[in-house]
């Protein structure tokens, strides 16, 4: 049975949305992208979600991925988003606004769920770590396909700084690093992550993974390194999958 579900992914610079056929993981129709409002408060973003819902109408549930720790629909942290998200009942606000089932989860967890189910991690046994490189670095860790949520390893300390402040895609742009210089930093990060978790596979995602050919040969790890299949779209696909799951759970 096909079922179109609205998936929304909130990033530091843009909010992306699409309808997703959750039975196949395919995006049906266009991906709509709008600039992230500044400040990116819950009220401002809820209005953006409403506009996106009007542009992509469906009666299905709504899934939202955010760069926050999310526990049971409540956002707990806000590293690259307005601090008003700390301890905000986002799922409750969505249900009130849309009168439909809604799910909220961490953006990297959403991306990981999509990659493990339909993308580069499909059928992977053992430990897989999905990393998203964007404004920050997102992490999602899976063992035999099961997610440990909210791992937040973009904030792993490296040389006294958050890893995402040295190796995110945003840092590459801001510091105008060429691919070798950036890959060197990513390699240090992958080595730290490998020492902690001994993953079988790293799946590298975020919009930067569309350029995987430019830097894949520069990356080194004892673990296998794969490019994310959904690249910058994984978060919204995973958000839609989480929303469909929420609706199924009633």
Work out how close the CB of 57 gets to ligand BGC at its nearest, in angstroms, rounded to a whole number: 28
CA dihedral 72→76→80→85, nearest 10 degrees, is 90
Tokens of 167: 């190796």
Is the CB of 68 or the CB of 247 nearer to ligand BGC? 68
Work out how close the CB of 141 gets to ligand BGC at its nearest, in angstroms, rounded to a whole number: 12
Which runs of E-coded beta strand occur in the chain?
A: 4-10, 14-21, 26-35, 62-66, 70-71, 74-75, 88-89, 102-106, 127-133, 137-143, 146-148, 157-158, 161-162, 201-205, 224-227
Is the CB of 136 or the CB of 238 nearer to ligand BGC? 136
Is the CB of 117 or the CB of 155 nearer to ligand BGC? 155
The DSSP bridge pattern shows strands 102-106 and 62-66 to be: parallel
Is the CB of 21 or the CB of 135 nearer to ligand BGC? 135
For position 164 contacting ligand BGC by CB under 6 A, the verdict is: yes
Is the CB of 52 or the CB of 68 nearer to ligand BGC? 68
Looking at residue 101, the DSSP 8-state letter turns out to be -
What residues numbered 15-74 form the site for ligand BGC, per CB under 6 A? Answer: 67-68
CA dihedral 161→165→166→171, nearest 10 degrees, is -160
The residue within the footprint of ligand BGC, chosen from 112, 136, 232, 238 (CB under 6 A), is 136
- Sheet containing strand 102-106, edge to edge, reads 26-35, 14-21, 4-10, 62-66, 102-106
The residue within the footprint of ligand BGC, chosen from 152, 190, 205, 233 (CB under 6 A), is 152
For position 158 contacting ligand BGC by CB under 6 A, the verdict is: no
Work out how close the CB of 215 gets to ligand BGC at its nearest, in angstroms, rounded to a whole number: 19
Is the CB of 75 or the CB of 124 nearer to ligand BGC? 75
**Cross-strand bridge partners of residue 10:** 15
Tokens of 43: 């009220």
For position 132 contacting ligand BGC by CB under 6 A, the verdict is: yes
Which SS3 state, helix, strand or coil, does residue 42 take? helix
Tokens of 248: 């199924």
What residues numbered 77-96 form the site for ligand BGC, per CB under 6 A? Answer: 77, 79-80
Which SS3 state, helix, strand or coil, does residue 172 take? helix
Work out how close the CB of 185 gets to ligand BGC at its nearest, in angstroms, rounded to a whole number: 16
> Which residues make up the interface to ligand BGC (CB under 6 A)?
67-68, 77, 79-80, 106-108, 132, 134, 136, 138, 152, 154, 164
């Amino acid at each position: 049975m096909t079922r179109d579900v609205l998936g929304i992914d909130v990033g530091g610079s843009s909010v992306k949305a699409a309808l997703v056929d959750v039975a196949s993981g395919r995006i049906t129709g266009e991906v709509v992208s709008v600039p992230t409002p500044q400040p990116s408060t819950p009220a401002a973003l809820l209005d953006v979600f409403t506009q996106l819902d009007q542009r992509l109408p469906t009666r299905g549930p709504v899934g939202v991925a955010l760069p926050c720790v999310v526990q049971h629909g409540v956002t707990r942290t806000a590293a690259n988003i307005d601090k008003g998200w700390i301890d905000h009942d986002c799922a409750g606000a969505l249900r009130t606004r849309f009168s439909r089932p809604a799910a909220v989860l961490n953006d990297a967890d959403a991306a990981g769920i999509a990659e493990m189910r339909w993308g580069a991690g499909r059928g992977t046994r053992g430990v897989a770590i999905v990393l998203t490189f964007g404004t920050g670095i997102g992490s999602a860790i899976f063992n035999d396909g099961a997610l440990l949520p909210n791992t937040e390893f973009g904030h792993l300390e490296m040389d006294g700084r958050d890893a995402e402040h040295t190796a995110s895609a945003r840092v590459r742009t801001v510091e105008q690093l060429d691919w070798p210089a950036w890959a060197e930093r990513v390699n240090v990060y992958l080595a730290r992550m490998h020492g902690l978790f001994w993953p079988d596979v790293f799946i590298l995602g975020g919009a930067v993974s569309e350029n995987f050919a430019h830097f894949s040969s520069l990356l080194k790890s004892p673990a296998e390194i794969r490019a994310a299949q959904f690249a910058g779209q994984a978060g919204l696909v995973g958000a839609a999958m989480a929303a469909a799951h929420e609706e199924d759970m009633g």
